[in-house]
Structure 1
């Protein structure tokens, strides 16, 4: 674990500014409840019940997108999960926000408006520049401490993530601490047995970078999704090409050299799908062995049943299993066989397991699995990728720096 302080280290009765990541799907203007609310609720409840005055910051969507909405609905959803009242103010750092902050009593919780509705938030800048912004300079004097619980946004250099820990003593919330520990385990921990990584999803460029970075840490990669098809393409099969999609050819062009290099140098570490699933003319699930594919004429939406039967024993013989990306379009039950099959194999195995990425982790609850059967289910995407590859997380580095500065005083 890095040497940052956590909320257990906070002095009593602090005025605390807390950064959460409540970014959520929005359907017809309605914010959807999800795992992020329940996870961050623990931090919020612990702070409120300890008697701190708690002010929350979070973002939702980006300007110009349908998901760019107010956080007013988020306050009610978070309150339900945390079991404490969460007030909301339609302001981020103006007079209304400052007045609401100053009116708080011990144990009160207030959620500020969407941080991305301020001009200072989104530009990627050095922490020192953000610390000098009107946003940070106006809010920081109202608080005794800053808590970052937004691990899933920790790879961003946004004002609310990297500016405040230069103005206030910085602490990690519950989500930040547990996510960082679990997601860096593949790089930091030593495992006596086999380490397996399940690689899928649509962002092949990300996971191929992970494979390259972790080749000495991982004994076996099990492939599916877009990355799986691209590796099959490199192995000489007529798949991994765009048909009714725009997912393959561009990523192939960007990664062909790396894919071929990985296959050539570490072929025994990479297990490819032996069959793939598609939608047949009747709308049902069809499967075809990759050896029998002569031309890709339609999209493949999952790995096949035989592939799952090959992957499951490898998982069961592993001491640690990390998942990054789904093996198919699991939201459609017809094409959930690959993703659900490997997750069930992991759940049945007494191994250290991390399921990463919000999309993939949704399959656990969607298909009635118990989250407790996995060592950790991550709510992070980009930060998870960075942790796996050992790249720095700016927001985490600032918490460490804050702790070091505090110890030096």
Structure 2
């Protein structure tokens, strides 16, 4: 890929600083293993096997939140996936960290403490400002190269993401490379047949923006989740508003009503809406036809079986299918039919397919689908949305700029 340099271009015997995204759910104070560790381990393993000295950095949570914690537990999980020891140092760029970095032998791996424990990390500033922080100016001279593998954080202007590429020769890791290529395919690739997008999830504001931005690149949209219900409301059905126990609809409707109505008016022929919805009735799954709903009294938790049957033929006739968001609350097996049914249809179709967003991709694992049946399963959320809508990703832009530079600074 010519967009930026990759680790294929990395000089031999380098000391490399590698930015990963290991941000994970925290339960009982411990990080939970997930797809991000598995994916990033490929880059770390490849670098270590090649004899590089590998120093990793990552973030966890944000200051003030319950999941803001040390990365000590992350090192053990990463080590399991990499297949070799990953040392941890409870420091980011102080003397303890610098000593551990200097002591590394070829093929050894070290994980530094949570980058967000550094005051220099979080404020969103220009790459030039970030490159001048103590965090970057202290660490960069210890390294030959910087590798960014954190595509899922590429929409941020944080020091560990945009500062180091100005101070060091910079390369894309395998996750960065594959995520960028797959997630920009909708804008850059030519497809012979229809392009379909499955749109769902709870963040309607994001996906409605995607629908608007991709109107001329997608032949049909199949809707579910909160966005699907809001479009049903715009089409005149008495749904898409909050009932007791929910707060997902009214605020998003007010914010997006005009855009929803304009997208529906302009592209209504390309938009498929649910014909039935599922809800909980005495602990069981029940379904109701949208045309039979006179008043919304229940929270709808999935699209119905008729909708799944309606959505499968256009998926199977597609040359490319992109997924953003689940069609229901798939974590509850009673309300997984929509999401899993659509994913199964995609898996059985010989098409280019990208499943985006951490939540939706989790359904693949949860319900025993084979990840290899999809062209790409993204671990990115915000960056995936940015890529789909054509917005620039600051961390990608700094990698591109770095590809035009050559001479590395002298290492101490």
TM over 0.5: yes
TM-score (norm. length: structure 2): 0.98
SS class of match (1:361): helix
Counterparts of 1:8-87 in structure 2, within 5 Å, are: 8-87=8-87
TM-score (norm. length: structure 1): 0.99
| Alignment match, 2:229 | 229
In structure 2, C-alpha distance between the alignment counterparts of 1:407 and 1:254, rounded to whole Å: 49
Is the 1:275–1:287 Cα contact (8 Å) retained in structure 2? yes
Q: Which whole-Å deviations, capped at 9, do the CAs of 1:160-196 have from their partners, x for residues lacking one? A: 0000000000000000000000000000000010000
Instruction: Give aligned pairs, total.
Output: 408
In structure 1, C-alpha distance between the alignment counterparts of 2:236 and 2:118, rounded to whole Å: 51
CA RMSD of the aligned region, Å? 1.2
Counterparts of 1:7-406 in structure 2, within 5 Å, are: 7-243=7-243, 244-280=245-281, 282-406=282-406
5+ long unaligned stretches in structure 2: none
SS class of match (2:404): helix
SS class of match (1:288): strand
Is the 1:321–1:354 Cα contact (8 Å) retained in structure 2? yes
1:405 shift after superposition: 2.2
Is the 1:124–1:156 Cα contact (8 Å) retained in structure 2? yes
1:28 shift after superposition: 1.2
Is the 1:315–1:346 Cα contact (8 Å) retained in structure 2? yes
In structure 2, C-alpha distance between the alignment counterparts of 1:63 and 1:338, rounded to whole Å: 37
Q: Which whole-Å deviations, capped at 9, do the CAs of 1:111-139 have from their partners, x for residues lacking one? A: 00000011111110000110000101110
Q: Which whole-Å deviations, capped at 9, do the CAs of 1:305-331 have from their partners, x for residues lacking one? A: 000000001100000000000000000
1:84 shift after superposition: 1.5
Is the 1:2–1:400 Cα contact (8 Å) retained in structure 2? no
Change (3 A) 1:215 1:361: same
In structure 1, C-alpha distance between the alignment counterparts of 2:407 and 2:374, rounded to whole Å: 36
Is the 1:197–1:221 Cα contact (8 Å) retained in structure 2? yes
In structure 1, C-alpha distance between the alignment counterparts of 2:242 and 2:131, rounded to whole Å: 45
Is the 2:169–2:407 Cα contact (8 Å) retained in structure 1? no
5+ long unaligned stretches in structure 1: none
Change (3 A) 1:238 1:407: farther
In structure 2, C-alpha distance between the alignment counterparts of 1:408 and 1:22, rounded to whole Å: 28
1:406 shift after superposition: 2.5
Q: Which whole-Å deviations, capped at 9, do the CAs of 1:8-53 have from their partners, x for residues lacking one? A: 1000100100000000001111210000000000000000011111
In structure 1, C-alpha distance between the alignment counterparts of 2:292 and 2:91, rounded to whole Å: 60
SS class of match (1:318): coil
Q: Which whole-Å deviations, capped at 9, do the CAs of 1:273-307 have from their partners, x for residues lacking one? A: 00000000x11001000101111112100000000
1:64 shift after superposition: 1.2
